Amino acid sequence: MGFFLKEAVRSVQRNPIPSFAATASILVTVLVLGIFIPITQATTGAANEVRDKVLVNVYLKANASKADQNRVAAKLREDTEYVGKVAFVSKEAAFKEQKTDYPEYYSELLGSNPLPDTFRVTPDNPDNALKLRDTIAPATATGARSAIDPAIDTVKNRKDDTQNILFITRVVKWAMALLAALLIVASVLLISNTIRLSLFARRREVEVMKLVGATDWFIRWPFVIEGVMLGALGGLLAVLSLTVGKVAFVDPLVSDFALLRAPETMQFGLLAVVLLGASVAVSAMGSGLSLRRFLKV
């Protein structure tokens, strides 16, 4: 192992510019992953919170009686598909709630209450919100909607806002995945090119080693260790940079921004371990790619 390490260090010293390029590529890749993994997790967590609040509001007619309320509640809870939870909000409770949230709009109503009794229905799965609405108020042949009970006036949901948020989250996730994939490919190719140059510079030496009986793995190990060393160095520099950024910029802002302290994000220690492992793995892939193709002496 001492011989392998010595040969790997000597190879790096012989090819400083390609080695620096490979290390810098790993550094940039790990930095991007270290920044975007928590951002994506926090954004996804926020989107999931919105998903969990998706409701289908079932508004009753103004003249609906207590018996009508009980009948509609029974239909929703027992006979309607895609229903997860049903909560009844009386017109009085709804008025009080809206007046608290928007006093400037409700202070001039002078005691009148325009709000109807409402059932707030949570779907069993947020993705089933539209199906739930269609079940409670299916479309007729003319395109109009007919509710499952005559006491129901209208059925509405807030799915559009949720879909917009989920779409943005999906775009962020795919953009991060594409960027990370491109950087990983670039890192693998740079590591591969570095090892390839090392092999080319020492091709006569490798040929002599094979002629005197050295096995392929005896020749491979210094190059594999070289790639792993470059990857580990780039990953370590990236983790140190992320640590400095976290202590200097993120931690002072945690108390002011809820998204920064989102519990869904990965702990920094675990993130550092994952990033270091990924940098070594990418480097090993680059080394293996070169060795398979260019160790045919």
pLDDT of residue 60: 92
pLDDT of residue 247: 86
CB contact at 8 A, 157 and 54: yes
Query: Chain-centre distance of CA 212, in angstroms?
Result: 53
pLDDT of residue 236: 93
Q: Indicate the CATH number for domain 55-157.
A: 3.30.70.3040
Q: What's at 105, amino acid-wise?
A: Y
Q: Per residue of the chain (297 residues), what is the pLDDT tens digit?
A: 787 788 778 777 777 877 787 788 788 888 888 887 787 777 766 666 666 667 888 999 988 899 999 999 999 988 888 898 899 999 888 888 877 877 766 666 656 777 889 999 988 887 787 788 888 988 877 777 888 888 998 888 765 665 676 677 677 778 777 877 787 777 677 766 766 766 666 667 767 777 788 777 777 787 778 778 888 898 899 999 999 988 888 777 776 665 556 656 778 888 889 888 888 887 777 766 666 655 555
Strand, helix or coil for residue 88: strand
CB contact at 8 A, 187 and 278: no
Residues 115, 177: Cα–Cα separation, whole Å: 46
pLDDT of residue 165: 64
CA–CA distances in Å: residue 5 to residues 9, 129, 212, 222, 228: 6, 60, 21, 6, 11
The token pair that represents 147 in the structure block: 């509710």
CB contact at 8 A, 229 and 20: no
Residues 95, 112: Cα–Cα separation, whole Å: 9
CB contact at 8 A, 74 and 66: no
pLDDT of residue 8: 77
Listed by start position, the domains of the chain span 2-50+164-294, 55-157
pLDDT of residue 30: 84
> Residue 145 carries which DSSP code?
B
